Structure 1
Amino acid sequence: MNYYLEALKKYVVFQGRSRRSEYWFFVLFNTIALIILGVIDNVIGTNFEGVPYGALYSIYSLGVFLPSIAVFVRRMHDTGRSGFWIFISLIPLIGAIVLLIFLVQDSQEGDNKYGPNPKLA
């Protein structure tokens, strides 16, 4: 849970590096929260007409939009890549596969141009 809170605290920090664990725990907790909020939306009837999600889901999604991008950019920095790699996701299927490979890679050894290795801090 600390990784999730740490990513939220740095919600607009696009500089520096984030470890794999920080990124993937943030993704895990976001996924769990979205599933729970989707169920709550269904139970209390706040779903939008013809859409599988509702108001709570939408508000939470908007709230974590910037933190999600920021932690992604810091994760790319940790592997020695620019945050602009996010745009490769615009290429259907291949872009997602390339990003997944980048996201599961280990940190770049030592310091890089984006900062010191967070594993050693």
Structure 2
Amino acid sequence: MNFMQAVQVCLSKYVDFSGRARRSEFWWFSLFQFIVAIVASFLGDIVASIAGLALLLPALAVGARRLHDIGKSGWLQLIVLIPLLGILVLIYFWVQPGATESNAHGEVTA
């Protein structure tokens, strides 16, 4: 999956927390969020806030689908509430290769 495909899929599945997301989809969308945040910050605080809020739900959805791909619950994203350790654990999970067989969250996506 390339950059544009990942962004299109994530924005079209705006609040779809079911299914699975491959590593490339998650990380390309994360790059997109980072770029949008940088550009929006140059345009002002209000624009940056609106952009952040607009991308919050798709980011949570793709994060949950990414965790589903490795066989974990999307609710595990709440571990980020633990200072420092939480985000490190999430990054560890997000970089893991996806399950090669189907799991409770669906079939393997291409």
Deviation at 1:58, TM superposition (A): 0.8
Gaps of 5+ in 2: none
Report the structure, 1 or 2, having the larger helix content.
Answer: 2
Deviation at 1:40, TM superposition (A): 2.2
Number of the residue aligned with 1:107? 98
Q: Deviating runs (4+, > 3 A) in structure 1?
A: none
Number of the residue aligned with 2:32? 29
Number of the residue aligned with 2:19? 16
Secondary structure in structure 2 of the residue aligned to 1:11: coil
State yes or no: 1:83 paired with 2:74: yes
Give the counterpart letter for 1:62 in structure 2: L
Distance in 1 of aligned mates of 2:80 and 2:43? 30
Higher Rg: 1
Alignment partner for residue 47 of structure 2, among 56, 70, 75? 56
Secondary structure in structure 2 of the residue aligned to 1:30: helix
* Normalised TM-score (structure 2): 0.93
Deviation at 1:118, TM superposition (A): 1.1
Distance in 2 of aligned mates of 1:89 and 1:40? 28
Number of the residue aligned with 2:5? 2
Identity %: 42
Deviation at 1:84, TM superposition (A): 0.9
* Normalised TM-score (structure 1): 0.85
Gaps of 5+ in 1: 42-53
Number of equivalenced pairs: 107
